[in-house]
Structure 1
Amino acid sequence: MEYLPLFFDLKNRPVLLVGGGDVALRKARLLTRAGALIHLIAPEVCEEVKMLVEQKGGQIELGKYRKSLLQGRVLVVAATDNQSLNESISFDARSANVPVNVVDSPALCTFIFPAIVDRSPIVVGISSAGKAPVLARNLRARLETLIPQGYADLGALVGRFRQQVKQKFSTVDGRRLFWEKILSGPVAEKVFAEQQDEAEQLLRSAIEAAEDKSPMGEVYLVGAGPGDPELLTFKALRLMQQADVVLYDALVSPEVVDLCRRDADLIYVGKRRDQHTLSQEGINELLVKHAKQGKRVVRLKGGDPFIFGRGGEELQALSEQGVPFQVVPGITAASACSSYSGIPLTHRDYAQSVRFVTGQLKSRQAELDFSDLLATNETLVFYMGLHTLPDISAGLMGAGRSASTPVAIVSRGTCKDQRVLTGTLSTISDLQESAQLPAPSIIIVGEVVKLHSELTWFGEVHQEANHALEQVQQLSA
């Protein structure tokens, strides 16, 4: 984020505007809408600018800019076509610690004007950090069609009753839950239908009937998918943006975490091999604790919560404590990573079934029954198996699976840095030793891997890795 978005209270505050042409007129319109008292200086001023500034209680001065005009101003806007003058204004303002905007010159600005969707008191600002103002305006135009004018009336109604609700509820959570119910119910619908009196009466009745008590919260077990934020479900995104607390694990990408509600408490509870930030029992306790405080808790898990995600264990703990919960399925890594790497899990020419297998068992001493994984018309997908890849390959071959069976490793699947390494059961461990693809990764075993080079659109690394392996083998020889 290059700029911190802020909303500046300019009501009856002195602002300096340098320039008297069309550009200055656009800025004067915006500043006066915000209630600013403008002091405009320019050698010449167009009549429309003069009328606007004077009608709004501002002052017009015909003349040249001088540094002394900055004294007492809360901000300054340079709207001239003189580059040297604009640079001087920017330098003077920065030296005086006065926020400055130089139109169409981001490098000379300490603040920039966003494209604005005005539904006062609801205002949306859209910025491209000065890099693509036309794109920002295009986005504003789209939002204009999505946000009805009725939101202005709804915002005003809420503002009139905000103090009453604050007095009714002793806690922030109680007030928030009340308003969320109001804003998604019949009061809002009455406002949008322009039935203001009915909406106000409904709101009064709701306030009178409301009880100030701390309700039980709820836990949402949300599948975050394999990494690409565009693979989130609508329901997942909605709950993430409503949550008071978010517990997320190591497999959830930063891009997905960034979509959570901005003021939510984000708690990292990630677990990687032999590196547990918090035990599973500790995670369960946190879920219960926050829910019993009346909070909405999102447990954000990579992939799907019920496929090697220990979601069932967490729900058992919640159920035992009487905590209500919902489960939001996510796209599991096997499906997403295979799709993004051009490897269909089933194909009538190669595989009629697919099996998901964990490479990390609850007991490290336990062993997979490889003799049950030998069907050549079945695709095997190993989760969390990168560190046991040599054991998996040796186990399958030892049980009778052909050494030439195709294998693929998909590393950081669906992310921008996704990499795919292909080989066979007999070569994949050496290839990975050379390539060093990072976790998280899945391993796909089966004839469908042959389709990777034909169907993929992601970059490939297996040729590079094969070349590296050949060099290693030559040196060893």
Structure 2
Amino acid sequence: MHSLPLFHRISGKRVVVVGVGDMADAKARLVERAGGIPCAETEAHHAQLAFVALEDKRTAESAARRLKQAGLLVNVADRPDLCDFTLPSVLDRDPVLVAVSTGGASAGLAKHLRLRLEAVLPQTLGTLATALFTARDRIRTRFPESNARRRAIDAALQEHGVLDPFEEASAASVENWLDGAQENASLQIVEFTIASDDPEDLTLRQARALGKADIILHDAHIPDTILARARADAVRKALPADPPAEGLTVILRRKG
């Protein structure tokens, strides 16, 4: 990854916007949309973030330098080389936010990827997220063990699951899901052999299995680029190793 994706809470906080005209106005509107308070450079001592929207390159560089020296993280419009952070194209299904970034390479590409996602992600996605948040205590009570809880949620949210995020009816199904949910602690083992070190050569089934696995048992020479497709909290063990008694285990071997 070229950047670490983060969501920065700015509600009620000052954010410096330097510039005039349409470009600066757009940055100020974005700050306000996220609950922030646009302010001038003179209030930089109250802020943590700054946007510089100036056409003149030298003036923009000078403003960015001053703000960085004051300890702010700075975004300079159309100058990714000067940016401490870049702005993604954002799909808003409050409280769900989907951000698409090209690291400043092409804002147009990020926008059109976001527009494609707009067409396929239902408006009820935010309602589903809110319902799951509201039911979090009941979910913990129903599934007190963390691994069992994760497996139950994964099963419900997977494609064609009872809470499939791409189905509009899922937003109203959380309570019914909890009423009928049965804990599944059975062991599942998926084993496959790869012939390439390129993660793009993984099949869709393989990529999904890695993304859902609780434990990865792998040949010692499987590259990190492949293992990075697994959940960050999945246990990784080099073969030979015994599988656990429950959960989803992926056994990953390298051909040749």
Tell me if TM exceeds 0.5.
yes
The question of whether the paired residues in 2 share the 8 Å contact of 1:153 and 1:191 is answered with: no
**C-alpha spacing 1:295/1:109, structure 2 compared with 1 (3 Å):** same
Counterpart contact for 1:117–1:124, Cα < 8 Å: yes
In 1, the alpha carbon distance for the partners of 2:132 and 2:171 equals 15
Q: Following superposition, which runs of at least 4 residues in structure 1 exceed 6 angstroms of deviation?
A: none
Tell me which amino acid in the other structure corresponds to 1:75. Answer: L
User: Does residue 129 of structure 1 match 2:103?
Assistant: yes
Q: Which residue of 1 aligns with 2:125?
A: 151
> Which residue of structure 2 lines up, in the alignment, with residue 262 of structure 1?
232
Question: Matched residues in 2 for 1:89 and 1:225: separation?
Answer: 51
Structure 1 counterpart of 2:241, from 281, 284, 296: 284
2:29 aligned counterpart, secondary structure: helix
Q: Would the alpha carbon gap of residues 129 and 194 (structure 1) be closer, same or farther in structure 2, given more than 3 Å must change? A: closer
What code does the residue aligned with 2:169 have?
Answer: A
Alignment correspondent of 1:91: 65
SS at match of 2:135: helix
Distance 1:189 1:151, change over 3 A: closer
Q: Corresponding residue for 1:18?
A: 18
Q: Which residue of the other structure, out of 202, 207, 222, is the alignment partner of 1:252?
A: 222
Tell me the residue number matched to 1:217: 187
Residues 1:299 and 2:256 aligned together: no
How far apart are the structure 1 equivalents of 2:108 and 2:174?
40
How far off is 1:218 after superposition?
Answer: 2.3
- The Cα shift of 1:101 comes to 0.8
After TM superposition, the score normalised by the length of structure 2 is 0.85
CA distance in structure 2 between the aligned counterparts of 1:250 and 1:177, rounded to whole angstroms? 27
- Which residue pairs with 2:43 in the alignment? 69
Q: Sort the Cα spacing of 1:94 and 1:266 in 2 relative to 1 into closer, same or farther, 3 A.
A: farther
- Asked if 1:172 corresponds to 2:146, the answer is yes
2:235 is the alignment partner of 1:235: no
Q: TM-score, normalised by structure 1?
A: 0.48
1:155-202 Cα offsets, whole Å, 9 max, x none, are 121111113222443332122122223324334489613873xx2541
SS at match of 1:158: helix
Unaligned runs of 5+ in 2: none
The Cα shift of 1:251 comes to 5.2
1:186 maps to which residue? 162
Secondary structure of 2:241's aligned partner: helix
CA distance in 2, matches of 1:126, 1:189: 19
Compared CA separation, residues 170 and 125, structure 1 to 2 (3 A): same
Higher RCO structure (Cα 8 Å, ≥6 apart): 2
- 1:394-445 Cα offsets, whole Å, 9 max, x none, are xxxxxxxxxxxxxxxxxxxxxxxxxxxxxxxxxxxxxxxxxxxxxxxxxxxx
The one-letter amino acid of 2:36's match is: A
CA distance in 2 between counterparts of 1:261 and 1:107 reads 31
For residues 32 and 144 of structure 1, what CA distance do their matches in structure 2 show? 22
Preserved CA contact (<8 Å) 1:154 1:188: no
Question: Do the aligned residues in 2 keep the contact of 1:16 with 1:38 (CA within 8 Å)?
Answer: yes
Distance in 2 of aligned mates of 1:190 and 1:88: 47
Q: Which amino acid aligns with 2:153?
A: W
- Cα distance change of structure 1 residues 258 and 194 upon mapping to structure 2, 3 Å threshold: closer
Contact map agreement 1:13 1:36 (CA 8 A) in 2: yes
For the Cα contact (< 8 Å) 2:19–2:52, is it kept in 1? yes
Equivalent residue in structure 1 for 2:87, among 108, 113, 135: 113
Corresponding pairs, count: 254
1:369-413 deviation line (CA, Å, top 9, x unaligned): xxxxxxxxxxxxxxx6xxxxxxxxxxxxxxxxxxxxxxxxxxxxx
| Residue aligned with 1:15, SS | strand
Query: The residue matched to 2:25 in structure 1 has which SS?
Result: helix
Name the SS for the 1:284 alignment partner: coil
Shift of 1:246: 1.6
Answer yes or no: is the 8 Å Cα contact 1:227–1:256 preserved in 2: yes
- Aligned partners of 1:140 and 1:222: how far apart in 2? 33
Evaluate the alpha carbon distance shift between residue 118 and residue 224 of structure 1 in structure 2; reply closer, same or farther with a 3 A threshold. Answer: farther
Aligned partners of 1:300, 1:235: CA distance in 2, in Å?
A: 13
1:103 aligns with 2:77: yes
- Write the distance in 2 (CA, Å) between the matches of 1:246 and 1:195: 32
CA distance in 2, matches of 1:168, 1:80: 55
**Whole-Å separation in 1 of the counterparts to 2:36 and 2:162:** 37
Please tell me the root mean square deviation across aligned C-alpha atoms, in Å. Answer: 2.7
Give per-residue Cα distances to partners, 1:118-168, cap 9 Å, x unaligned: 222221222222123222223223322332223222112111111322244
